[in-house]
Amino acid sequence: MIPLIVGAFSIPVVIRGVGTERFGLLSLAWIVLGYFSIFDLGLGRATTKHVAEALGRNDRTDISPLIWSAVALQATMGIIAGSILLLASPVLVNRALPVAAGLRTEGTLMFRILALSIPMVFAAGSLRGALEAFQRFDLVNLVNLTALSFTFGTSALGAANGLGIHQIVGVLVAVRAVVVIAYLLLVTRFVTAQLPQGSTFDFRLLRRLAPFGAWVMVSNIIMPIFLYLDRFLVAALQGPTQLSYYVVPFEVVTRAWIIPASLVSALFPVFSGLHGAQEPHELTRLVWRSTGALAVMLAPLLLGIALAARVGLRIWIGSDFAERSAEILRVLAVGVFLSSLGYVPFTLVQSVGRPDVPAKYHMIELPVYGLLTYEMVRTHGAIGAAWAWVIRLTWTVPIITWLSLRVAAAASKGGRRSA
């Protein structure tokens, strides 16, 4: 809540301080940073899974070298990704992005400074993953909330004092550095201090992490395509005005995803620990209980949004917009409910060490969904995009649930045989 409040006050200050064009360029910078972050080999998630699994087996011998080897590899990958962004900055600004001629020099410098933060972002992933494996979400949330608040606050302070966007980004890179140092100190104090002190690094252990992380990265690449394909097709086939009628209700109703996302971030290390402890019945029971709890929490919330769609949009934006977007909001509310039920089984299948299963399924599903969405948008406009998403989820969620339970059962039998 605090970052939202700080952000609500800070963003108008930043816009007034740097201007609309420069603020747009600043926004593009963070989009590029988010795109680069998907190439971290999924090692943050992999670290959480393997550390939590080892804790479930009560085997702490390799945990410390596993953590530090993952951090070292992620930092190395971050240096490579940052170097790519550093070299590609002039091309991004001058050719790939719609940057005004007068801002290109400043924009190039901004991206080059931003490249310095990528190794820090990557390294922080494994450090955060170690804390999550030990279920220290209090420490993770403390760092994240403080970092988000400082990100907004320092941006506003810099803009109010006449700093350029490259200078503001420089301050934000410094904030990222503080975040990494904070995670490093917390992991040293609350995680590795409790572990047997052996070798600091053992890169042979990365053979456990790399296959898992690689498939997580595949999912991280594919899922944004699912998320943005409908918007691209609405814009391409129906025009930017229709896109506005689709994007606004989508952004409103998908805020409900914070509920399942928060739940599964806590469940992932628990699932991994139960898998390591070979407790399949408890694992299955927790899957169904968690899914049922999500349904109970989200059903009244999304039903309320659907029922109040027209009135709410009319009060917030206007009558004309409400007439065109209310039905879209109602359909999307159904989609959010269905997609939320898929969070737990998706997390389950990753926690038992099979992230390849959903990744392969989504690779097969993507062209089918693309053709469906294209035809629905072409014939029905923006509401067609919403219905295409709901139709996809009606088959995807049951299939992913079925696959995850089968894979978890097979993994548990395999574990018992190996034990």
Q: Whose structure tokens read 């065109």? A: 324
Domain locations in the chain?
2-201, 207-418
Secondary structure element (H or E) that encloses residue 112, with its range:
helix 104-115
**φ, ψ at 383 (rounded to 5°):** -65, -30
The residue among 136, 142, 130, 138 whose CA lies nearest residue 71 is: 130
Burial of 396 (0-12, 13-18, 19+ CB in 10 A): buried
Per-residue pLDDT tens digits for 59-106: 777 788 888 888 888 888 889 988 998 998 888 788 776 677 777 888
pLDDT digits (tens, 9 = 90+) for 209-251: 777 777 887 887 888 788 878 888 887 787 767 777 787 788 7
| Secondary-structure percent of the chain, ordered helix, strand, coil, rounded to 5 | 90, 0, 10
* Of 388, 283, 391, residue with least CA distance to 344: 283
184 neighbors 49 (Cβ within 8 angstroms): no
Task: Give the rounded distance of the alpha carbon of 50 from its chain centre.
Answer: 20
The position carrying tokens 């007068």 is: 102
Question: pLDDT confidence of 408, banded at 50, 70, 90?
Answer: confident
Tell me the one-letter amino acid at 30: W
Spatial separation of the C-alpha atoms in residues 192 and 187, rounded to whole Å: 6
Residues whose CB is less than 8 angstroms from the CB of residue 96 and which lie 6 or more positions away in sequence, other chains included: none
State how far the Cα of 183 lies from the Cα of 174, in Å rounded to an integer. Answer: 14
What letter would DSSP give residue 103? G
Over residues 355-365, the pLDDT tens digits come to 889 889 999 99
User: Binning pLDDT at 50, 70 and 90, where does residue 369 land?
Assistant: very high
pLDDT digits (tens, 9 = 90+) for 292-335: 999 999 999 999 989 988 888 888 777 877 888 889 999 999 99
Distance CA 107, CA 99 (A): 8
Distance CA 276, CA 294 (A): 25
Torsion sign over Cα 328, 249, 339, 359? positive
